[in-house]
Amino acid sequence: MTDRPVVLIAEELSPATVEALGPDFEIRHCNGADRAELLPAIADVDAILVRSATKVDAEALAAAGRLKVVARAGVGLDNVDVKAATQAGVMVVNAPTSNIVSAAELAVALMLAAARNLAPAHAALKNGEWKRSKYSGIELYEKTVGIVGLGRIGLLVAQRLSAFGMNVVAYDPYVQAGRAAQMGVRLVDLDTLLAESDFMSVHLPKTPETAGLIGADQLAKAKSSLVLVNAARGGIVDEAALFDALKTGRIAAAGLDVFAKEPCTDSPLFELENVVATPHLGASTDEAQEKAGIAVARSVRLALAGELVPDAVNVQGGVIAEDVRPGIPLTEKLGQIFTGVAGEVAQQLDVEVRGEITDHDVKVLELAALKGVFSSVVEDQVSYVNAPLLAAERGTAVRLVTDAESPDHRNLITIRGTLADGSQVSVSGTLVGIHQRERLVEVNGYDIDIEPTDHLAFFTYDDRPGMVGTVGQILGDAQVNIAGMQVSRDTKGGQALVALSVDSAIPAETLSDIENAISATSIRAVDLV
What are the catalytic residues? 233, 262, 280
Q: Are 413 and 327 in contact (CB under 8 A)?
A: yes
The crossing angle, in degrees rounded to 10, of helices 100-115 and 286-304 is: 160
Buried b vs exposed e over 308-331: b needs ≥16 C-beta within 10 Å? Answer: bbbbbbbbbbeebeeebebbbbbb
Neighbours of 401 (CB within 10 A): 13
SS3 187: strand
Q: Measured between alpha carbons, how far is 227 from 167 in angstroms, rounded to an integer?
A: 15
Type of residue at 140: L
Distances (CA, A) of 277 to 106, 107, 130: 11, 11, 22
CA distances from 252 to 39, 154, 198, 364 (A): 50, 22, 10, 49
What secondary structure does DSSP assign to 443-503, as a single string? ETTEEEEE---SEEEEEEEE--TTHHHHHHHHHHHTTPPEEEEEEEESSTTSEEEEEEEES
Measured between alpha carbons, how far is 307 from 361 in angstroms, rounded to an integer?
Answer: 15
**104 three-state secondary structure:** helix
**Helix, coil or strand: residue 149:** coil
SS3 state at 164 = coil
- Identify whether the C-beta of residue 147 lies closer than 8 Å to the C-beta of residue 154: yes
Say if CB 93 and CB 304 are below 8 A apart. no
The answer to whether the bond into 263 is cis (omega within 30° of 0) is: yes
Q: What are phi and psi of 259, to 5 degrees?
A: -140, 155
